[in-house]
Every structure is written in structure tokens, then in C-alpha cells.
Structure 1
Amino acid sequence: MSYLSPPRLHFSGQFLADPSTLNNTPNNYNPQNDFPTAGRDALGLDATNNLDLFWNPYGRGTFGFVGCEVTKVTYGDGRSATTRDEDPIIGTAVASNAGLAPAKIVDLDPMQQNVSEIWGMSLDVGGRTSGSVSGDYREGPYAWIWLQAKGVPPGDTAGSGMYQSVLENLSWNPGSSDSRFLHELAQASPERLSINFAVHAHNSRPHMFLVSKKTVAAMKKAGVPSSVTALLAPLMQYRQMPTSTPGLIPTEAYFKVLVKEHAGAEAFDRYWTTIRKESAQPYRAPTPHPFVHGGSAGTIGPSSAGEPLYFTPARVLTPPAEQLSEPKFSPYNPPCTFAPAATSTAGGETTVAINLSNSLPTRLPGTDWDGDVLGNLFLCTFDARSTSPLDGVELLGRVDYADHRRFWTEGAGFVTLTTGADVSDRPLGLVRVDDEGNPQEMLLQENPYGVYCRADRFVYRINPGVKASHDPRTGNPATVDFYASRFGTPLSGLEIAVSLMSPEEARSYTNSTPGTGGSPGVDNLSIPQSALQPAAATVVTGSDGKASLTLTASDPGNPRSYVDGQIYFLRYRPVASGIHFVQAPDDLISIQIYQQNLRGLPAAVRLAGRVTWDNSIRYVLGQYGKLYPYMATIVELGSYESVKKNAAQIRQVLASDLNSPIHMPVTRDLSASRRALILRWIEDGMPES
């Protein structure tokens, strides 16, 4: 069972993803690089060692659903409801972290930003009248990220991706007018639920503010004294990227903090309105959503123990292999992208359910689907024996995507068709036809042999010195589970080859991704190769379609200097040749191995000997304080006095569960060794020197 199976509900609304972006480049981790000050050439002539702000330096690292509501339910018998009169759960909220600290959006590493994970999220679905269910979201990354919006340049706003996980620790709460749907869902899956949702059209374009000779002159003319504008001179050196115009500062929230910090509270209170007016640059939102918001639609359904957590081993439609080889397309920019589907047969009829929430292109971010690409769109089967998938096409039914409200807002991109055709061993396709129904182009197709395989969990954090039995999330060794299916049923005997990417391959891959590509300083990846074993292996699926591989990590040392640990990538694919297997570009295993022995860090930071603020802790906490300025609203991590004052709270959040919304650091990238170092220092009374 999964969200592809009834009973299931659909929801839609917005999501908020508010990451801090100062950690987007390894260069910002370098202690020699810092924020401009009055003593570092206030005229802005030398910005060599300045930090790159990227697009959201004051981000809080939070994630959440905003205004999401249940829009449709499908019962176990296949009938649906879309109004509150039919089922009281329609129109109720799908709320994240109600009354709690917000969930977090987390990159694995500055050198792997293409598998962003959600941590610390809980969901409440329903209301007082309908009843409700709440549960904890199992942390995990998005998959199948691609450039969905075809009419804009590549970037975050053009992108779309899909999250899938499970809701655990469920609490079922009856309502005054119980929902039939909730009753059926509780009966079908009382312990765990499957959730899948798409996120797209994220507005990552900040409002920019420019501090330059021209804008400073305008401030003076508008009444800001020279004594105040002189204090703002260091802001002329701030930069968004190495090639950006000096003095361009992203987001009003961050600019406001900088002005107050440099000009002082009294001058800020008196002149902020004028400074803002004269420095603000023209702004046009690139999506229909506010800054750091985007659109989301998803599905929740049953889940059984023993099933994969992060994907459904179902029937998956992929871009045709020959299409991906065309120069005008790239792995992240096909006309359409991966779509999971499931089939069930009863009474001589087959029901096909396909999730297109992340699969169809738009012209502009968050707008209607691109009819020029899709045209008359049909679900079909085709003849696997033919040299062309357009031969032997049998149309199963129209995909009516034109009604955006019904298709996306209400139906979450989920299409269900019933057919009398036997599709149990015939590959499915998504085909564009002409007005007479003649096939024109196969946009998505199932593997001709029905074969699909994928790793379940594919993002790992490993502390070499921590046993997996003590910490299943970050302990050593780690287990990767692969699942293979053929036309949606478990496939036994499939050999899957797994191999470690070389340093050159790792660098080439991560620099090609939408998440990491363009970030300066990506280097020295995947060394030493010996820190992850095995470097190559072949696993074979059993009768349940599952195969497992144990990964053992050793201390990689400190090959990236000021960035802790090391990043590795494992690729995998079926050994069998001639099966035309198509993988998403990110269908690989991403692994962060942390440094265990702390020798070699600045000032000989180590677990042995006397640990003080001056010789150890300031290098660890100070880096977080620099990379995450928003933390200063809670504690100034670069200040001994502030850290000592807030030591009890720091200890609490460091010791909290990794999937707790209050866990610190938000980025979940503090190694067990460094965490132990800080906690030991606190226990020892926090000596300064």
C-alpha cells in the first residue's frame, strides 16, 4: 500500500522554504573570509576576502505548509468527494508543526545541495468537526528535481521536485461529525501513512538594496547626515556573488539588520525609512508566490510496515532515453519528467492511477501547464517489441490537465483512469496525439520490460566512531536498501552494480546539478577514496525484490580544511544490458562522512587535553555564527559572553533528537566529535582560555 492506493486524500496550497544561503559556497567557511568592515577598504576597492551572500543570507532554515487544505478524498471503493457536504474533512487544514518550533530545510553539504531534506516536521490533517490525524514526518530529501518552467532561465524558480516519506507516531482524533474518509484510512493504515507532495515555483528572488556612491548621495540629499552615511561605507563591499555589483544586498530583513548594526540604534530609528527608500531596487516577483514561498500539492494514503519509506516500488514512467540524448534537452530539462503509477484489477477492469504532480511542464513558474508541449495528452500502452514506442499504441484515456483548478488545486496532479484493457505486462506511456487521435510524440514511457529499481534512502550522514546500533540515523555502518520491480510487482534476481564515483566524477556531477551548480569553491571531493567501503559491489534482489548493501566508513580526516568531513557519491544501475533502463540524474547515493579525529583543526582542536573557548570552541561555534546571521537573534555564537549566558539552552538543543524541530545546528552537519567537544566544554565550566 502507498499514497497511490485508496483510501487517499489530496491537498494543495503553498509551502515556505527559508534557507540561509551563506553556507552555499565552501569559500564562506574559510576563516580568512569575512564580512566587510570599516578597516577593510571601506571604499569597496578590494573585496577579495568578502563573503558571498547569495540570495537569502538572513534565512532561518525553516520549512512549512502555508494555507494547505484537503481538496479531495477517494474512498476504498473508488468513489470520491470534493465538497464538505460529502465529507467534512474537505476544506480542513493540512498544517505543519502547529504550536511547535517550525520544521527545517537542510542541505547535506555545501558541495551537495541537490538533495535538500525536511527535518523536524509534524503534520495535522483535519479539524474538530471532521476529526483529525496527526503524525511525525520521517526526515528525508526531495527527488526527481527538474526545470519545470520552460519560459524562464534555469534556476530555483523554474524548478520542481517531489518529496515522499511516511507519517509515524499517529494520533487519531474523533470529531463531532466523523469523516467517512478518516474512518476508512484509520482502518486501512492505523500505524503509518504514506505522503507524497510536489513543490514548485519557489520565489527565491529577493528584494535588493544597493549601497553605492550614487545611493549614498541620494541619502544625504534626502536628509541623512554624512556622519551616518560614513558608517554605512562597509556595506559598499558586500556582494551577492563574486561577479555581482558591489554593495547589492539581498532581502530587506538582512539589509535592515546591517543598517542598524553599522549606523547604531538611534540613527536607525531616525533614518531607516529614508535609507530604505533611496537604496531599494525595483522588484518584480518571478512567481505568483511571496518571497521564500512556492506552490505545493500532495497526496496522503495508507502505508504498510516493511515497505520502502521514500518511494513506491510501482510502475514508473520516465523520459524516453532517445529524447534525453537530444542536444536541446539536458538530464534536468526534459519536456516531462518521472511519474509513478499503480494498477489494480477488479471485475475485469483495470484502474490506472498516475501521479503527475511533478511531471508536466509549465510556461512560467506556478502557472498553467504548457499546452504547446503537451497538446492532446493521453495515457496509453505500447508494444514493447517494436523499435518505436509509437507503434502499437493503445490509448487508455485522456489526461485533462487544462482545468488547472481541477487538475492541480483539487486533484494534486493525480489522474485515475479505468480501462478494460489488460495492462499487466504492457508498458504504460504518456503520449501527445493530434486532433484525429494519431500518436505524435511519446513524452513519458515505462521501461519496455517493465523494469524499475531505486534505492530507498539515498542520503546518509555517517559518524565513523558511532555505532549504528547506538544511532541508526548517523551511525556506522549504514545500510542501503534497493528495490526492484517489473510492471509493479517485486522482481527477484536483478543484479544491481554499485560503484564509488572518483573525485573527478563527483565534482563533475555536483557542479552539473541545479542545487550546487554555480557555487564557487567546490573541490577536493571524495578523497580519500578508502574512507568508504566497498568502493564497488554487486547486489542481487531476493523474492521480495529487495537487495541490501552495507556501507562502512572510516575517518576521512580533514581534506577540505575548513569544511568538516567529506562527501561521497555512489552510483547504481542494473547490470543487465539491453533493457533500456533510464535513471534520474540524482538517482545515486549521497554520503557525508564526518571527521572523527579532530587533530589538525585550527589551534589544535582535539578531544584530548584542556578544551577552552580560545583554543577550540570559538572555531566551531564561531563558524556557525558567521554562516547563519539569524542565530544572533537568539545567541551570538561568536561571542564567549553570549554563549556562556545561553549555555543551558545550547546544551539542550545540541542534545535533542536529530529530528526534533529544536535541534541545533539547524543544518544537522555538526559531527559527533565536535558535538562531544562542545558538551564536554560546557560540563567543564566553559573555561575561556
Structure 2
Amino acid sequence: MAYLNSPRLTFSGKFQADPSTVNNDVEHYDNATFLPSYQDYGPSGTNGWWNPDGTGNWRLLDCVINSVTYKDGTSTADPAVDPIIGMSVMDANTRVAGKIVDLDPQQQSVSQIWGMVVRLGQAENFFLKGDFTPVGFNDIWWNRSMDLKGSPGAAATYQSVLTNLNWSIDGIDSRYLKELQAESPDQLSMKFNVDIFNQTVTDAHFTIGRLVGSIGPSSAAEPDHFTLGRQFVPDMVCQSGMYLPKTVGSYPLYMATALVREDTKQIVLDLGNCLKTKTKEGLMADDSDLKLAYNKGNGQYILLGDLPFHAPGWYETNAGLITLPLTDDQLAAVLEYPLTIVTQNNIGGISPLLAEKASYLRADQFVFRMNDGETDEINFYATYLGKPLAGKTVFCEIQDSLMNIMGQGNGTPTTATPAILAFDAQLNTDENGKAVMGIAASDPKNPRGYIDGQVYALWYYLEGEENTPFSFTVPADPKAAPIVLPATLSGVDPNNFISVLVFNSLSQEAIQNPQWEQDVQPVMQQYANLYPLMSKGIFNLADKTVVDSNAKILRFVFALPIDDPNHMPVTRDLSRDKQLMILNYLDTVIAETALQEGAITENVNQNNA
């Protein structure tokens, strides 16, 4: 089902992403060479980058429901028809905000949201509440904006599920909420796009950006983080070490997804991260006449309808979604042929701009943190024209050079990468187009020195795509000539790979009997360096006296699960072994303090006797 199905709503507003950026630079992880200036504000790549005092908070701000689509495919934007329109999409009101966290300084392009609660309603009253399952952003588009550069001009998408749903809809006569609860009572799908992010520290809207999104039904049988639908993948060109959508004619289009609804004879097309924008005006920027067509081959593009996106406020009201009705003949055709977004000139000539990738493979969860001896599973889904693709072989291999595409943080302590991930290099899809790959991690043996663990990129592809440009071997010698990336990619999404961070192991002696100076302090010092808001304003974790005197509260937050918004460290980059080491140290401090307090109490009682 997913967010493109119905009943669904669309909403728009703002978000706040307030990460600390001291840890964007790998050289800042070296305690021996860390300088106080690394906690000062500066442009990206200098000092503490653009937000060294960041809290890590992630918030939904002023998000308003603009339209609803009912199960039968009809829609309304009138609050007199459905009172949920005009109400808010909010985050938590009874606990701290969610957190925005990078996986690693050398993989900053899958920033995850942890601990976010989503509520629908007004002020303190909600009609629906759920927990947003943590996920990283995907399909980052670095040059979406026509008038902003760098991160402010970029866009990306988040898609996940809302679970642990709490419904309270008796007090509102909303057809949408009633249909949504009946259709999907236990789990919902949520997708949103983020862009126009403000990195100017002197601006009143610093750390604020634009957000539009949709919420719809979800099934446990489908993936959580993408839609089993029709996937449009542009040709890409390599510019300054990163891949950007190729300009066709005078205009580039990026990723898009469509869902063919056979029950209502409609196509729902998501252009939310597909079209360029003039961000200062907040409007879609293109004046071209875009249409949807299906491709019968040999240059035969049969038009299905116009894609109207030029009206003021269209993007915010519709969250980038367009619904096209289909005749019976059109429905039969789109189930047989791939889709294409095209333009048409004044004399009827058709130019294809963005084509559907007919055979498509995607890993559902694509960000993993692992420790020595741990195992996990990766769910792959293969489709052909949106339908399950059974009996196909999925290939997977390590390609660390993929990290270079994304333009990561400055410096590299070492490029040595021992192979410590065990997984099936080949597996087959079942009748549902699904393949499940087990993955096991072992100790990487500290290849990066002052940065814990190692990041790995798992590139995967379908049978018949063995010649994909990323199917190559990385030179074993870190001093070897760097790999020259292909200048162009045809139908390949360079973002579509799996990122795995495997942490180092510690000795059992360090874990069970930690000493402050040699074991605990270096970890706490690094955290104090990289997260100055904590060390300057709350607890200086590098100071033994401070840590010992706050051992109980620190033990509580260090023991919280990683998806709790109060989990420490906020950066989520503490290994299992280091967490156990710190907890054991704090337990020892707490026990010793209790003994001392008990002895003092006993002495006082004796003196008073």
C-alpha cells in the first residue's frame, strides 16, 4: 500500500535539523591533535563547520494538513468537507525532540532520524499518534535549487512507517481518519521531502528548512522504506566527484515514483524530489509542459495526461503528488509498458525526459551499525513494472569507493579496509520478489585509528546487470591510483547502496574492569570535543569528578536503547563494547559511593548514640 495509496493525506510546513557539526571532520576525532578552534563556527570544511553548538534535535514545525484522498480515490482540500484539513502534523509534546544523526564522518549522506513521535491534531489534542521508525534520508539531490548552493540548495527524502499507533478519533467526524483506521489500524506509511535548509547562523531561521509529505496506509508484507511501485531513475553525470541528474534538453529531472491503482483506475505520481525549484520563491521553477506517457518501444510514446505543477502553492498543497485517471485501455497499457515523463513541442514531437527503470531492485533498510559477532538481515525487493520479480538472482559485493561519490568529511586517517563482513554474494528472489540476506560482522581491528570501526558500502544489482559501472574491485593498496568514476550512469541510482558501520572490539579486561585514565577518559574526551554543547553547558564528560558525581543520571542515559531520544551519546556512535565499559565503570562508581555514604551514615549514627 504505502503512502501513495489511499486513504492518504498531504501536509507541508517546516523542519528543524540542529546537529553538532564538529564531528563532520575526521581529523577532529584525534584527541591528541584536537584544537579549541575546532569548536568555533566556520564555513563547511573549516573550524567546527557551520553549527558546532548543535543540540542534535529534529523537529516538525508548523506542519499543516492540506488535502486528503479517500479510499475511492476522490480528494478534497476543504475543511468543511473533512475537518482534519487545516490541522497539524506535530512531533512529541511530552518528551524531548527526536534526534538527527550521521552514520559516520565518512558517510554523512544517510543522516537518520531517531526517536521521533508523530501526532495529528491540534495543539495538545491529538487524534492519532505513532512512533516514526528510524531511517536515513535517501536520494539526496545536491543541486535541486536554482538559486542556492551547497546544503541549502539540496533536497532529500525520508520514508518510513509509524508504529505503536494510538487512535483517538471519537471526537472528530473525519471520513479520512475513519477510513485510515479501518484500512491500516496498526501501521502507517510516511514520506516527506526536505529542502531549503538555512545554514546561516545569523539568520532568524537558522537550522530551519521546508518540508512536504504524505501519510497513508501500510502493510507488514511490504517494505518500510520505499514503495513497491514504478521507479523513475535519471541518467546521471559525475561533476566534482558526485553524481547529479543529467540535463535533458534544458532541464534535469531527478527521482520519481508512481503507483498504478488498478482498483480506482488511477496513476499516483510522486514528483516531490523530481523537479528543480526556485527556492527563494518557494515555487517549482520549470515552465515546460510535462506529460506522462508509456513507451511501446521504437520511439512510440503514448500520452496519458498532463502533469500540472505550475499553480502557486501546488507543491505545498499536494506534496509533489499528481493523480491521473486512466481509461480501461490505458490501464491495460501501463501494466504492460514502462512509463516515461516527456515533453511535447508545438508540432506534436515528443521528447523523453525521465524513464521508468522497468526491472528494479532495492534494499529496504540501508543503514546498519554492527559489532563483532552480531548478525542482521537485509530484505531486498525486486520488481518489474511495479510487480514482484520472482526467480531472479541478486548479487552483492563490497565497494568502499562508493563513499567517495558522496563528498564526505575532510581527511582520511587510513584507507586500509579489512574484509570483516560475511554475507551471501548471490541469492534468489522468491515468488513475492523478495530475497533475504544474512549479514555477520567481525572485529575490524581498528583500521582508522582514532575513529572507531570501519564503514563499508555494499553495492547490489540484479541478474543481467553484471556490467553495472560499480561492479569493480577496489585496489588493495591504499597508495594505488584512485579509481576514476564513470562520467555518466544510465539508469543507475548511485545513492542506492547499503552503508554498514562495524565497530571495534575491546578486551574483556577493559570491558569488565575499566580504568578511568586508560579506558574511559579517552572515549569521554572525544565526545566532549565533538559535542561541545554537552561539555560546555551540561556535563564535561572528560572530567572524572563531573562524571563520578553524576554517575547515576549518566548511567541511566547511557543505558537507554538507541532509538530513545534521550540516548547518550546523541551521536549514536558508541560501540557495544564501549557502552558496556562505560556502564561497568559507572556501576563501580555508584557502588563505591553507596559504600562511602553508608560508612558516613554509620559514623554519624554512632556519634549520635
Q: TM-score range by the shorter chain?
A: 0.7 to 0.9
Aligned partners of 2:548 and 2:589 also within 8 Å: no
Note if 1:202 corresponds to 2:197. yes
CA contact (8 A) 1:149 1:365 kept: no
Residues 1:343 and 2:260 aligned together: yes
Aligned CA distance change for structure 1 residues 3 and 21 (closer, same or farther; 3 Å): same
| 2:211 alignment counterpart | 296
Query: Would the aligned equivalents of 2:457 and 2:498 in 1 still touch at CA under 8 Å?
Result: yes
Task: Identify the residue that residue 295 of structure 2 maps to in structure 1.
Answer: 382
C-alpha contact (below 8 Å) 2:169/2:178 kept by paired residues: no
Residues matched between the structures, number: 556
CA distance 1:620–1:92, shift in 2 (3 Å): same
Corresponding residue for residue 557 of structure 1: 445
Which letter does structure 2 place at the counterpart of 1:308? P
- Cα 1:594–1:132 change in 2 (3 A) is same
- Aligned residue number for residue 419 of structure 1: 326
The amino acid that maps onto 2:336 is D
Partner of 2:184: 189
- Provide, for residues 158-184 of structure 1, a one-character-per-residue CA deviation record: whole Å limited to 9, x for no partner: 111110000000000024332111000
Q: Distance in 1 between matches of 2:457 and 2:436?
A: 17
Q: Shift of the alpha carbon at 1:464?
A: 1.6
* Partner residue in 2 for 1:682: 586
Mapped contact 1:452–1:486 kept (Cα < 8 A): yes
In the TM superposition, what is the alpha-carbon distance from 1:522 to its structure 2 partner?
Answer: 2.6
Q: Equivalent residue of 2:579, what SS? A: helix
Superposed displacement of residue 607, structure 1: 2.2
1:87-140 superposed Cα distances (whole Å, 9 cap, x missing partner):
110111100122211100010001110100000001001248996110000001
Return the offset for 1:326.
8.4
Q: Using the alignment, how far apart are the partners of 2:356 and 2:579 within structure 1?
A: 47
Mean alpha-carbon deviation: is it higher for 101-110 or for 649-658?
A: 649-658
Q: Is 1:588 matched with 2:476?
A: no
For residue 621 of structure 1, what is the aligned residue in structure 2?
524
2:299 corresponds to 1:410: no
CA distance in 1, matches of 2:367, 2:111: 9
Q: Which amino acid aligns with 1:93?
A: S
The SS at the match of 2:282 is coil
1:110-129 equivalence runs, <5 A: 110-127=105-122
Q: Is the 8 A contact 1:332 1:585 kept in 2?
A: no
Q: Partner of 1:454 in structure 2?
A: 362
Matching residue of 1:218:
none
Are the structure 2 counterparts of residues 637 and 131 from structure 1 closer, same or farther at C-alpha, using a change threshold of 3 Å? Answer: closer
Separation (CA, whole Å) in 1 of partners of 2:35 and 2:160: 39
Q: Aligned partners of 2:21 and 2:341: how far apart in 1? A: 38
- Is the Cα–Cα contact under 8 Å of residues 144 and 275 in structure 2 kept in the other structure? no
- Cα distance between partner residues in 2 of 1:578 and 1:428: 24
What is the RMSD of the two structures over their aligned residues, measured on CA atoms? 2.6
Return the alpha-carbon distance in structure 1 between the equivalents of residues 353 and 418 of structure 2. 42
Q: 1:9 aligns to what? A: 9
When structure 1 is superposed on structure 2, of 428-437 and 60-69 the one drifting more is 428-437
Counterparts of residues 253-272 of structure 1 (less than 5 Å): none
For 1:177-576, what aligned pairs fall within 5 Å after superposition? 177-207=172-202, 290-319=205-234, 321=235, 324=236, 331-334=243-246, 335-346=252-263, 350-364=265-279, 367-371=282-286, 375-383=288-296, 385-386=297-298, 391-405=299-313, 407-420=314-327, 421=330, 422=332, 423-440=334-351, 442-447=352-357, 450-465=358-373, 476-501=374-399, 506=400, 508-514=401-407, 516=408, 519-525=409-415, 527-529=417-419, 531-534=420-423, 537-576=425-464
- What is the CA–CA distance in structure 2 between the aligned matches of 1:418 and 1:662, rounded to whole Å? 47
Equivalent position of 1:233 in the other structure: none
Alpha-carbon offset, residue 429 of structure 1: 1.2
Quickly say closer, same or farther: Cα 1:153–1:138, change in 2 above 3 A.
Answer: same
Q: What amino acid maps onto 2:555 in structure 1?
A: R
Query: Counterpart of 1:359 in 2: which secondary structure?
Result: coil
CA distance in 1, matches of 2:415, 2:92: 36
- Give the Cα–Cα distance (whole angstroms) in 1 for the partners of residues 342 and 467 of structure 2: 21
Deviation track 1:451-506 (CA, whole Å, cap 9, x = no partner) reads 111000010001124xxxxxxxxxx11111100111111110121210112xxxx2
SS of residue paired to 2:31: coil
Aligned mate of 2:162, from 159, 167, 180: 167
CA contact (8 A) 1:130 1:176 kept: no
Please say if residues 298 and 412 of structure 1, whose CA atoms lie closer than 8 Å, have aligned partners that are also in contact: yes
Verify: 1:645 aligned to 2:549, yes or no. yes
* In structure 1, C-alpha distance between the alignment counterparts of 2:92 and 2:101, rounded to whole Å: 16
For normalisation by structure 2, the TM-score amounts to 0.86
TM-aligned CA distance change 1:366 to 1:490, over 3 Å: farther
Question: Structure 1 residues 326, 523: CA separation in 2 closer, same or farther (over 3 Å shift)?
Answer: closer
Which residue of structure 1 aligns with residue 598 of structure 2?
A: none
The answer to whether the 8 A contact 1:129-1:176 is kept is no
Tell me, in whole angstroms, the C-alpha distance in 1 between the residues paired with 2:153 and 2:382. Answer: 31
Report if the CA contact (8 A) 1:313-1:453 is conserved.
Answer: no
Paired residue secondary structure (1:624): helix
- 2:97 aligned with 1:98: no
Task: For residue 160 of structure 2, give the secondary structure of its aligned residue in structure 1.
Answer: strand
Matched letter for residue 257 of structure 2 = P
The structural deviation recorded for 1:295 is 0.5
Q: Normalization by structure 1: what TM-score?
A: 0.77
In 1, Cα distance between the equivalents of 2:580 and 2:125? 47
Does the residue aligned with 2:193 lie in a helix, a strand or coil?
A: strand
Q: 1:437 & 1:80 partners in 2: Cα distance? A: 32
Q: Distance in 1 between matches of 2:105 and 2:146?
A: 28
CA shift at 1:512, angstroms?
2.6
Bigger mean CA offset, 674-683 vs 326-335:
326-335
* Post-superposition offset of 1:685: 1.6
Amino acid at match of 2:391: G
Partners in 2 of 1:104 and 1:129 — Cα distance? 21
Q: In 1, distance between residues paired with 2:442 and 2:393? A: 27
Identify if the C-alpha distance between structure 1 residues 414 and 437 changes in structure 2 by more than 3 Å, giving closer, same or farther.
farther
| Residue among 57, 79, 100 paired with 1:62 | 57
Q: Deviations over 1:141-195 (max 9, x none)?
A: 1111112435346411111111000000000002433211100000000000001
Structure 2 runs not aligned, ≥5 long: 39-44, 247-251, 469-489, 594-609
Is the 2:413–2:449 Cα contact (8 Å) retained in structure 1? no
SS of the equivalent of 2:243 reads: coil
| Alpha-carbon distance, 1:198 to partner | 0.5
Letter in 1 for 2:6: P
CA distance in 1, matches of 2:130, 2:559: 22
Say if 1:625 and 1:636, in contact at 8 Å, map to a contact too: yes
Q: What residue identity is the alignment partner of 1:655?
A: A
Contiguous gaps of at least 5 residues in structure 1: 41-49, 208-284, 466-475, 600-604
Q: Aligned to 1:20, what secondary structure does the other structure show?
A: coil
* Paired AA for residue 492 in structure 1: A
Q: Output the amino acid matched with 2:176.
A: F
User: Quick check: 1:28–1:51 contact (8 Å CA) kept in 2?
Assistant: no
Say which of 131, 134, 139 aligns to 1:136: 131
Alpha-carbon offset, residue 409 of structure 1: 1.3
Cα gap change, 1:318 to 1:333, in 2 (>3 Å): closer
3-state secondary structure, aligned to 1:112: coil
Deviations 1:180-228 (A, max 9, x none): 1100000000000001110111112333xxxxxxxxxxxxxxxxxxxxx
| AA aligned opposite 2:498 | I
Cα distance, 1:33 vs structure 2: 2.3
Task: Return the offset for 1:546.
Answer: 0.2
* 8 Å CA contact 1:147, 1:333 repeated in 2: no
Is the CA contact 2:551–2:589 (under 8 Å) kept in the aligned structure 1?
A: no
| Contact kept? 1:130, 1:174, Cα under 8 Å | no
Distance in 2 separating the partners of 1:345 and 1:295:
33
